[in-house]
Amino acid sequence: MACVACPSTSEFPFLADRHARLLLAQINKLRCGQHFCDVQLQVGEGAYKVHRLVLAASSSYFAALFAGGMKESSKDVVQILGVDANIFQILLEFIYTGIVSINENNVQELIVAADMFQLSEVVDLCCEFLKGQIDPMNCIGLFQFADQIACHDLLEFSENYIHVHFLEVHNGDEFLALTKDQLIKILRSEDLSIEDEYQVFIAAMQWILKDSEKRKKYVVEILDAVRSPLLPPQRLLKYIEGISDFSLQIALHTLLKEYCEIGYFPKENKMSSFLQATKTRPRRKARKYIYAIGGYTRLQGGRWSDSRALSCVERFDTFSQYWTTVSSLHQARSGLGVTVVGGMVYAIGGEKDSMIFDCTERYDPITKQWATVASMNHPRCGLGVCTSYGTIYALGGWVGVEIGTSVERFDPEENTWEIVGSMAVPRYNFGCCEIQGEGF
């Protein structure tokens, strides 16, 4: 007779969630009936009979208290300090049931006590509750509270919220109650969602003027967080003239003059160059615009010889993610150079119908209008354009009927162009840039 081997049976572990829930419910039932309780906790006026084993298994704090060789490990009554009885009752219910009651009135005390007893689940639940309650009017308070209790998750969340909603937040009373160091930390952030740097300056000044007698001594520290070279000069001067505190007004005039010079005069070492580059660069989350200026278009179905120069200007908004049409150039042209200095957009040179131009136009994003400024010494198209310390350089390009080597510099303050040198090699339709005061 043949012997047939029975297939071997494999063992599979099965998890019975219901068993764990019933066990926890039964342990809580024993507590409520004061069965097998081996210690009494005295919290303020409240007395709670509990099981050492259950508390030690739930909390590192109680594990150290009852099993760490401390004198409390042998006492029948142990006093717990530093926590309100009602808050402790909520935490005790969580230990025995896994359920915690969180509301606006108890959440701050609860998270502090839960952190004290090292109940990380309750801390996390309180953090999630607070995140759900945040708004522009209370986010500063949450930021300060998280900083005070060293809750890094809530601190990071509230700080990010402040950055995103900065334009609403800085108008609230809580913003004016920030400490100096907290204010500077916020103002230095790359992630402030702003329209322009002037809004950061206004926020800084609002904080100072809230208590100018005590706070004006911090003006240097605070305004160092503002990227002053990006501030519109006329608007800035008008604001400063309106300040009633004469000593603060003088300090601002002096300080901002020094800051604004960063954009115009080179520094000697690499660190200074890095710092001034940071000062003149818009923040990562600031509203930015991309301009498409002039150029040419080919008539539908026509040849390249049928193309025509454009005067239209389009602008892309990084906030709305849309292109819109803004004011057109006075002179339609293609092959022009474009750059930005002092918050103004410059359109330089170019050509139309084989006519090469020396004209320069300047666009003001505030007034949304183009204005004609001084013309170059030579008409150019296909030129290279770059900026350096508040001035504009126009290099090479088609100059008349030949490719040029000459270099011109425009001073926006003086509204003048001057020839400053020449390149070793004539060129056109090329790229150029400025690095640490040198053109490439």
Angle CA 418–424–428, to nearest 5? 75
* pLDDT for residue 244 is more than 70: yes
| C-alpha span between 371 and 125 (Å, rounded) | 59
- What letter does residue 265 receive in the DSSP assignment? S
Closest CA to 45 of 88, 105, 76: 88
* Per-residue pLDDT at 302: 59
Q: Is the pLDDT of residue 232 over 90?
A: no
In angstroms, the CA 212 to CA 206 distance is 9
- Please check whether residue 41 is in contact with residue 66, taking contact to mean a CB–CB distance below 8 angstroms: no
Taking residues 25-30, report their average pLDDT: 92
In whole angstroms, what is the distance from residue 383 CA to residue 89 CA?
Answer: 77
Written as six digits, the tokens of 145 are 């509270």
Residue 307 has pLDDT above 90, yes or no: no
Residue 210 has pLDDT above 70, yes or no: yes
* Mean pLDDT (whole number) for 217-223: 91
The CATH 1.25.40.420 domain(s) of the chain lie at: 178-280
Please report the pLDDT score of residue 400 as a whole number: 80
In the chain, residues under CATH classification 2.120.10.80 are: 289-297+308-422
pLDDT at 410 exceeding the cut of 90: yes
Mean pLDDT across the stretch 339-363?
92
Look at residue 11 in the predicted model and tell me its pLDDT: 74
Q: What does pLDDT average to over the chain?
A: 88
Q: For the chain, give every residue range classified as CATH 3.30.710.10.
A: 19-133
The CATH code that applies to domain 178-280 is 1.25.40.420
H helices of 211-245, in order, are 212-215, 219-223, 233-241
Indicate the class that CATH gives domain 19-133: alpha beta
Instruction: Look at 2-11, 332-341, 387-396 and tell me which has the smallest mean pLDDT.
Output: 2-11
CATH code of the domain made up of 289-297+308-422: 2.120.10.80
CA 199-205-207 angle, to 5 degrees, is: 110
For residue 265, pLDDT over 50 is answered with no
- Helix, strand or coil for residue 74? helix
What angle (nearest 5°) sits at the alpha carbon of residue 408, between those of residues 402 and 414? 145
Residue 304, pLDDT score: 56
- Secondary structure class of 356 (helix, strand, coil): strand
- Does the pLDDT value for residue 132 go beyond 50? yes
Q: What number of other Cβ atoms are within 10 A of residue 369's Cβ?
A: 11
3-class secondary structure, 82: coil
Asked if residue 384 lies in contact with residue 426, where contact means CB atoms within 8 angstroms, the answer is no
Residue 17: the pLDDT is 82
Report whether 390 contacts 412 (CB < 8 A).
yes
* Structure confidence at residue 246 (pLDDT): 86
